[in-house]
Amino acid sequence: HPERYSVPKRKSILLAGVAFNLGLLAYFKYADFFLENLNLVLGVDFPMLNLILPLAISFFTFQQIAYLVDSYKTETREYDFLNYCLFVTFFPQLIAGPIVHHREMMPQFQRVRNAFINWSNVATGMFIFALGLFKKVAIADSFSVWANSGYAAADQLTFFSAWATSLSYTFQLYYDFSGYSDMAIGAALMFNIRLPINFNSPYKARNIQDFWRRWHITLSRWLRDYIYIPLGGSKRGNILTYRNVLATFLLGGLWHGAGWNFIIWGGLHGVALVIFQFWSRLRIALPGLMSWFLTFMFVNATWVFFRATTLDDAIYVLKGMVGISGVDVSPTLRPLVDNLDSMLGIGLAIDPAGFQLPWLALGYIFVFGAAAFFLPNGIQMIHFLPYGGRLGFRPRLLFAAFVGFSLFYSVVAAIQNAPSEFLYFNF
């Protein structure tokens, strides 16, 4: 019970606990990154440790730090060790989020009626789980084929193939993470536990701030509450606010992975948020469609740094996307592009051999891109409100058929295809 201790003693315990958690995370996740850069800067040759990253360490570390900080502030009221262990290791969200808060979970674990089967929750949870599983197996894993092949040959990409590669990964990550979020919510709901919504159609966002209110919502909340606000938030003038935003997103990028590409990705999003805040103060509104288009194009371009294994690969893909590496067209489209080039005098560097566009990939991008942009997400489909709200879902034959088909398809795909992990397992 933290209120029994003086503030200095509580602070000492807090600092020791946070240092211990961050120390473990730094050792397992960032030791090789540090050694690699140390070797590069000093010209030495320290051997890499090649440590295996403990399962879900990034996620449960953040949850434990949040609990420590709230305990220091005497905001926690649940101290049962068994429930605390359940809070940290609850399996539906352990691997890739959402990053849950103790005040969301502890009361649910204590609720007596949650110990009994609720068939409405089972049916709703099964539907959400099956929807997420279908997103992962049928959609995300299909996009992964084209994304992986494109990034494996990043130095050979030209205009259309670079765009097909970047968009394939953009939608692979979307449906992969959306699928996991749905599966986590669905699995937890079958145990009468309601997890917070972590994914809310982020590609519908009309500005970068809105994007981060929709993408990995619980991570954004954690960064805001435990980094941005402690740094001073927006209470100390515009310049310090911009500094706090940049620092928060640089750390958020580093949290995703031990590499400069993740730091650059986080920094770019931090800069974009600073520009958005500055632009908002000018009170100049862009048309909704233009605002959405600019936001999506920025997110798509920055995902290149997120996905590429090296900075050189990221530059190759981006150069291809802007046409520096030439324009590739299929033989059937070659006359059309030649005529357009001669009319406009652009001087396109067209690949003489031609390039057969992956038409199936383009079809997936068009169909499932439109679904991400225009259709309601799974939570909206069933009117799922996580805290005290009603569940509008009602079991229907159509839903039952979808659940059966999704589970059958997934089992067959698991037997026939190579094992496929969720992308956020890497973080």
Q: CB-based contacts of 46: which residues, under 8 Å, 6+ apart? A: 35, 38, 39
Cβ of 239: how many Cβ atoms within 10 Å?
8
Cβ of 179: how many Cβ atoms within 10 Å?
25
In terms of Cα–Cα distance, which of 272, 265, 256, 267 is closest to 304?
Answer: 265
Residue 327, φ and ψ in degrees, nearest 5: -120, 125
By three-state DSSP, how is residue 77 classified?
coil
First to last CA, the chain: 33
DSSP state of 390: -
**Residue 256 a catalytic site member:** yes
Q: CB-based contacts of 71: which residues, under 8 Å, 6+ apart? A: 2, 14
Give exposure, 202-212, as e/b (b: 16+ Cβ within 10 Å): bbbbbbbbbbb
Alpha-carbon Rg of the chain, whole angstroms? 24
Residue 101 structure tokens: 């808060």
Q: Taking a C-beta distance cutoff of 8 angstroms, is the pair 312, 151 a contact?
A: no
Rounded to the nearest 10 degrees, how much is the dihedral formed by the CA atoms of 246, 249, 255, 256?
-130
The active-site residue out of 101, 256, 269, 383 is: 256
Instruction: Report, as residue numbers or ranges, the catalytic residues.
Output: 256
